[in-house]
Amino acid sequence: MDYSDRLAISYYKEVAVINKSHKIFLVQHVQTGKFYVKKILNVYNHDVYDFLFNNHISGIPKIQAMYEEQGTLTVIEEYISGNTLHEKIASTKLSAADIRSYISELCEILNSLHTAEPAIIHRDIKPTNIIITNCGHIFLIDFNAAKKYDPTSSIDTTLLGTEGYAAPEQYGFGAS
């Protein structure tokens, strides 16, 4: 048990529930007053979160602190204000320019993930996992299903992701 990581997590106090069933909370740092997101994960790849903690990638919420104990990972990450792409599609008509901009930014984020050593594969890209800020920039969230690429693996060992969005490889047809 790393007490310094546990202590770092203790500086964030829960303010509101974002998603009770997924254990996602809005928290506030007791000293700075800044808001963050706290996630309590039972399904995760520690190596992915460790990489994201140590290597900030533009377009992905910055991880401020994390603590792992008994198969549970608690993550504190940057709070991104905005709406999901799903909400944006439901409430407005997107222009061709907006769509091109979102796709371009998403490709830049994915390029950063895929050129990491080893590459990180998100495995659950869908409209609810893309946040559009008020300035029109996008952030990719929800790395619970992500994994580091292993060129020696021929199949995925665990089915993760969302039906209809997850790569076909995750259904036993190969490795993602």
Percent residues over pLDDT 90 in the chain: 78
pLDDT tens digits along 81-127: 999 999 999 998 899 999 999 999 999 999 999 999 999 999 999 99
Q: Which of 2-6, 7-11, 47-51, 109-113 has the lowest mean pLDDT?
A: 2-6
Torsion of CA 27, 57, 128, 92, to 10 degrees: 100
pLDDT tens digits along 52-84: 999 999 999 999 999 999 999 999 999 999 999
Active site residue 98: no
What are the strands of the beta sheet with 82-84, ordered from one edge? Answer: 82-84, 130-133, 138-140
Is residue 163 pLDDT above 80, yes or no?
no
Is residue 143 pLDDT above 90, yes or no?
yes
Contacts of residue 49, Cβ cutoff 8 Å, sequence gap at least 6: 63, 66, 73, 75, 143
Q: What is the pLDDT of residue 155?
A: 63
Is residue 173 pLDDT above 60, yes or no?
no
Q: What average pLDDT does the segment 141-157 reach?
A: 82
Q: What is the pLDDT of residue 164?
A: 58
Please tell me which residue in 2, 98, 124, 150 is annotated as part of the active site. Answer: 124
**Which is more confidently placed, 48 or 176?**
48
- Of 43, 35, 99, give the one whose Cα is nearest residue 61: 35
Q: What is the pLDDT of residue 23?
A: 97
Please answer whether residues 75 and 38 qualify as being in contact, where contact means their C-beta atoms are separated by less than 8 angstroms.
yes
Structural domains in the chain, sorted by start:
6-78 (3.30.200.20), 82-171 (1.10.510.10)
Grouping H, G, I as helix, E, B as strand and the rest as coil, residue 17 is strand
Q: What is the pLDDT of residue 4?
A: 84
Residue 14 vs residues 10, 33, 146: alpha-carbon distances, Å: 10, 12, 26
